[in-house]
Structure 1
């Protein structure tokens, strides 16, 4: 089976990355793709804004991509696309690319693959209250954003990449066309404009005589403006373009017009001397003159008849013209009345237009006032948030809560691209770095440990209640039986002999034991209160006092007492008192921005 595109050469003007798949399809058909990217793709000019928007994709209801390049640039920076975020694209190729990148809910036009077709989608008709993010290149039409705004949506336009002039020059393009070109494939008006912009008059003339294949009527119209003689429309998408090329070059060429064969005698030369007829007799001249006179008379009669007929025709046409003139006069009168009505309607329409313009001016002023109020509210909230965070930091030392408040405030400010907010954001970043450098102290964990120790004091054995290993072994020996055994146990319950190694009296009444345990609890609770107040001397003093009481009056050989003393030593190594940074720079920056906004609004 023959390939209609075999050995045909096509100039590709797409960006280099987008042209790869189309070049592969042409190569499979036997064609020779000539890569001449007329648009260079560069990263976004505002990468921090793009990163900030991608970090909060969950805040949006719809993400719109105007090109496959925007899809690729965003997908390279997003680890996982939110499953509930709907994606809208302008063509089937972009839809397939979005699904390849893991975007599940993707919508696209059904018939017209451009911005107008996307806006006709049923899901984009009711947009009131919906939040939309629009990813595109630099520049471009504002049709999508303006229409979605008019339908009630909140739209954020983000520059995902930049389109730059081509890196090729006139010599490279001329070298590609030197061996012939069967067609130039253009998929954007900007590529066609860049192509003719780098050409001189000779190369431009060569391109005008070359066949162009355009994937959209608007692109075809742009190409025709440069004087191209033949522009052929194609389907959209790489597969559609190749299919259109196959259909075009598979069509049979028009059959050549048959040239009639020359007659057999056409090539023969005419004789040099024609035979001369013999002289007529003298009597025949009279009949010839009579025939000529009769012919002249008949001709005069015919001419007279034709003149009469012409006059009658002219008269009827003249009457018809008069009738039509009368009808036109009546029509002019009717049109005059209609024109008066149209003039009145036009005047009324002009009056309505003036009213609409006045309303537009009022709405613009109202929008400006609302926007100013929003910024004033944002700055007031920022000042209040910083003030509360500073007070909480100084009073309670809660670094984590202050950091969370500063992060939330920075995210809110990132959504407002205003120059006057930049000093405030820089001050916020500086204070966030300062808070990050503060050593982390687990006040909650330390407080819980002190509470646990205070609760376990009632279960710790005192020295007076403790027994030596010898006593314990004697008590666990075989019990004595009989009368004497019962008597010995009765006397042992009345009298107990124990060795005490400490000089202080340790025999405590039950009431004194209760007061001793409560005293140790108060020491631990005072240490907890000092910890929360960041009072390091009092904290350490109470811990040392509790440790001394435990060692003096409690059985330090018992496992619970040993565990309590170990926990007290760990608590003594903590440093609750820290020098915390101040948020004065951010607070002053917020106040300065608010004063500047107030002065500008008053002007």
Structure 2
């Protein structure tokens, strides 16, 4: 077998521990990328994701698929929606970021994405959302969050329908994960792409474990999240170009 070529030097992790805070059950692909770049991945989810129970969610989703515009808020929104119903639609489809658009593409849907920042604010700058007076718009995701899309779409005159296909919660950590956090070296990297996940870690981890986590370098997916990381106690913070795995890891490597 031909040996695998090493990654470019500027993108190697050089044996560093990289803490993956993606939701429980979703971090393994990113952990594999960490290992391919020469890092040591520690899965420490900041969120748990659960399907919405009951037949009402499927009924609401099928109705929403007939609206004029569909806005998917995350790859998880796509995954849980596809479990409820086939994502067949004639609507214009928009995704909060390229990762969400990729998830939609696996179900045959081509989505419009932000040209700039890969977040709610970036999506709201898309021309497709400029004039919504009276248009039927479905926002597909989970309850809670910052509510930026919800508030602004309504303010722009959309006939807004929210469809909750999953719920976010606080994960349960195992003793081995907490022990690993307590052993984190100062040059570890902590990948952050959700303010809610960061808050769960701060509120849910033992105080000494979170303090140890904050000794590491936070790699934030946006300036907004970088500010939240500093407020939470991280002293060293770098900002990635987006929440996409390749951007987070590139920032982790150059930090």
> What's the TM-score bracket when you normalise by the shorter of the two chains?
0.7 to 0.9
1:5 has 2:10 as partner:
no
SS in 2 for 1:196: helix
Q: TM-score, normalised to structure 2's length?
A: 0.88
CA drift of 1:58 comes to: 4.9
* TM-aligned CA distance change 1:103 to 1:15, over 3 Å: same
CA drift of 1:191 comes to: 1.2
Out of 119, 143, 146, the residue aligned to residue 141 of structure 1 is 146
Which residue of structure 1 aligns with residue 172 of structure 2? Answer: 167
Contact 1:128 1:151 in 2 (8 A): yes
Could you list the structure 1 runs, at least 4 aligned residues long, displaced by more than 4 angstroms after superposition.
none
Out of 237, 247, 255, the residue aligned to residue 254 of structure 2 is 247
Contact 2:57 2:84 in 1 (8 A): no
CA distance in 2, matches of 1:174, 1:131: 46
Contact 1:49 1:158 in 2 (8 A): no
Which residue of structure 2 aligns with residue 180 of structure 1? Answer: 184
* TM-aligned CA distance change 1:219 to 1:240, over 3 Å: same
CA distance in 2, matches of 1:235, 1:125: 25
Number of residue pairs the alignment of both structures matches = 244
Pairing of 1:323-362 with structure 2 (within 5 A): none
Higher RCO by CA contacts (8 Å cutoff, separation 6 or greater): 2
Could you list the runs of 5+ residues in structure 2 that have no partner in the other structure?
1-5
* TM-aligned CA distance change 1:203 to 1:178, over 3 Å: closer
Identify the structure with the greater strand proportion: 2
CA drift of 1:25 comes to: 1.2
CA drift of 1:85 comes to: 1.5
CA distance in 2, matches of 1:144, 1:86: 16
SS in 2 for 1:42: strand
Out of 112, 121, 145, the residue aligned to residue 107 of structure 1 is 112
Pairing of 1:267-416 with structure 2 (within 5 A): none
CA distance in 2, matches of 1:214, 1:5: 17
Could you list the runs of 5+ residues in structure 1 that have no partner in the other structure?
249-603
Contact 1:21 1:238 in 2 (8 A): no
Identify the structure with the greater helix proportion: 1
* Structure showing greater Rg: 1
* TM-aligned CA distance change 1:128 to 1:227, over 3 Å: same
**Two-structure CA RMSD over aligned residues (Å):** 1.9
CA drift of 1:122 comes to: 0.6
1:208 has 2:214 as partner:
yes
1:199 has 2:202 as partner:
no
1:232 has 2:238 as partner:
yes
CA drift of 1:28 comes to: 1.1
Out of 163, 166, 189, the residue aligned to residue 158 of structure 1 is 163
Pairing of 1:409-424 with structure 2 (within 5 A): none
Pairing of 1:32-181 with structure 2 (within 5 A): 32-45=40-53, 47-82=54-89, 84-104=90-110, 106-168=111-173, 171-181=175-185
Which residue of structure 2 aligns with residue 15 of structure 1? Answer: 23
Contact 2:87 2:107 in 1 (8 A): no
Which residue of structure 1 aligns with residue 3 of structure 2? Answer: none
CA drift of 1:179 comes to: 4.2
SS in 2 for 1:107: coil
Contact 1:39 1:166 in 2 (8 A): yes
CA distance in 1, matches of 2:169, 2:247: 27
CA drift of 1:149 comes to: 1.9
